[in-house]
Structure 1
Amino acid sequence: MRLTLEDAMKNESYRQAAVELLFQLADDDFILAYRGSEWLGLAPHIEEDVAFSSISQDTMGHAAMFYQLLHDLGAGDPDELAHARPAADRKNAILLEKVNGPGTYLTEPHYDWAFAVVRNYFFAQAKKVKIESLKNSSYQPLAEAAVKVNMELYYHLLHWKTWFSQLVRAGGEAKTRMETAMVTVFEELEGLFSLGAKGNEFTQHNLIESEEALRTKWVQMMLPVFESLDLKLPEKFGMKSGNGRNGDHTSELQAALDTLGEVYKIDAAASW
């Protein structure tokens, strides 16, 4: 059974669960889109500058879509939800707020292309699994949004899978840096699958599948890729820095939000 917006507003338990899930979806896309935008002009070549910028723009558009659904459910103005909420209120996975890697790409100590590729590929696959689940969500507006997101996500996933495979197959320093990046990403990867303290409510209301189901499907999709590249998936993933779904975050998130909200905070009522 699918519920409309009007149905959801009549059921407070259902509405709160939908709001919590939408914050996770929106905040994930919002912060990763920003991290992607930081690569503008720094990607390995000009074609990748264009491609990565397009992907980041799509991802920010997905965040905007989810923030609008939150607005419809009475959570607040979309721009305020995106720019004015404090870091402690954010629901994004910690993996996505991390600066762009510990490497030494160009002159910036926190720009590492291997980390960017691994993080974006693993996230895109996790997002694909979630979107497929959300297409069957009991909340009709969310299911409809998932169909729209899925059309663009196909290309995102193909892009990052290509980069991942080519760099691993290249061998030498490229493969070594990719393996180092994977270790770093796997230390926080479980945060992508966590649904937080209200995860059971999500599944009870048939909003999305369980954490275990999402994780299992991700592994099923990734295993053939890893085997083809002679790589091994770890048996368990970590949440080394805490669970962002429950409000745990790093100082890196606050720094990013300060930059993201700088113009908005000059005049929140301004029209652009």
Structure 2
Amino acid sequence: MEGRDSAMKITKPEELKQYPEYQEALVELLFQLADDDFILAYRGSEWLGLAPHIEEDVAFSSISQDTMGHAAMYYQLLEEIGMGRADDLAHGREASERRNAILLEEVNGPGHYLQEPRYDWAFTVVRNYFYAQAKKVRIDSLKNCSYEPLAQVAIKINMELYYHLMHWKTWFVQLVNAQGEARERMIQAIEKVMDDFGGVLSLGNKGSKMVEFGLIDSEEVLTERWIQAMKPVFEQANLTMPNAFQMKRGNGRNGEHTSDLESAIATLSEVYRMDPLAAW
């Protein structure tokens, strides 16, 4: 394998047996993609009935459903590679085995969905918008992936992602351009999100192999593309563009997580644990 400029493409899972290092890097990337969408879709589902208005309730629910569907596509690719049943990969793995970014597992705010939820809409808008733009950057890169099944999935996801990104961008622009408390809370949310946003753009310990094998562009390239996409939005809103991509609580790509993820998995996998053979 010679990187992203190589003409070589792997078109079928069975071909991976010839390239064990390639397969290892691919599996790591797929878990990152799947686990990101899986946990963020769950956090989105917790807003059902709590969004600012009924139209947003419907729209956010649809976005979360799409996002969970994207996670399912990635888990299915992992199943085809021989990593186990997609349902088991989604629900049966411990927090330490997950590869999602820490930012995405963080709770929506104080309280619990069933007990005095006091969720932070500003944080939700910023997290989802910043993530949607990072996801768009990754998807655009994955459309040229050397593993053809993943490239095809990226093309499918891109069609839905366009609407997700437009939705969150609209919320972001409206709230940061508002006066008073709304703008102040959005600025605070931006600072909070950026404390861990470096983890979203990270490729983890096997990132160099992913790039070498032509699976995805480098962290540096992905980060620069994210910055270029976001810069005009920040300038129009008279906001300072973040210049630090931190991972204050660790790197989820390497299995570092918080108790928020453990409690989320416990809730998500409750039905699975009752009947592991049930269809997800």
1:227-257 deviations in whole A, cap 9, x for unaligned?
0000011221110100000010000000000
C-alpha contact 1:83 1:261 (8 A) present in aligned 2: yes
1:2 aligns with 2:19: no
What is the CA–CA distance in structure 1 between the aligned matches of 2:262 and 2:204, rounded to whole Å? 20
Report the equivalent of 2:86: 78
Gaps of 5+ in 2: 1-7
Report the equivalent of 1:121: 129
Post-superposition offset of 1:271: 4.7
- Aligned with 1:240: secondary structure? coil
Gaps of 5+ in 1: none
Match of residue 272, structure 2, among 255, 261, 264: 264
Match of residue 228, structure 2, among 220, 224, 227: 220
TM-score (norm 2): 0.94
1:12 aligns with 2:57: no
Match of residue 148, structure 1, among 147, 150, 156: 156
Report the equivalent of 2:43: 35
Runs (4 or more) in structure 1 with deviation over 3 Å come to 101-107
Report the equivalent of 1:108: 117
- Aligned with 1:59: secondary structure? helix
TM-score (norm 1): 0.97
C-alpha contact 1:118 1:181 (8 A) present in aligned 2: yes
Report the equivalent of 2:73: 65
1:251 aligns with 2:256: no
RMSD (Å), alpha carbons: 1.6
Post-superposition offset of 1:76: 0.7
C-alpha contact 1:101 1:116 (8 A) present in aligned 2: no
Match of residue 198, structure 1, among 186, 203, 206: 206
> How does 1:44-63 map onto structure 2 within 5 Å?
44-63=52-71
What is the CA–CA distance in structure 1 between the aligned matches of 2:240 and 2:279, rounded to whole Å? 51
> Aligned residue pairs: how many?
271
CA 1:225–1:8: 2 relative to 1, 3 Å: same
What is the CA–CA distance in structure 1 between the aligned matches of 2:266 and 2:243, rounded to whole Å? 37
- Aligned with 1:170: secondary structure? coil
Higher relative contact order (CA 8 A, sep 6+): 2
Percent sequence identity over matched residues? 64
The one-letter amino acid of 1:134's match is L
What is the CA–CA distance in structure 2 between the aligned matches of 1:65 and 1:34, rounded to whole Å? 16
C-alpha contact 2:110 2:117 (8 A) present in aligned 1: no
CA 1:12–1:104: 2 relative to 1, 3 Å: closer
What is the CA–CA distance in structure 2 between the aligned matches of 1:184 and 1:258, rounded to whole Å? 26
What is the CA–CA distance in structure 2 between the aligned matches of 1:190 and 1:142, rounded to whole Å? 24
The one-letter amino acid of 1:209's match is D
What is the CA–CA distance in structure 2 between the aligned matches of 1:139 and 1:271, rounded to whole Å? 27
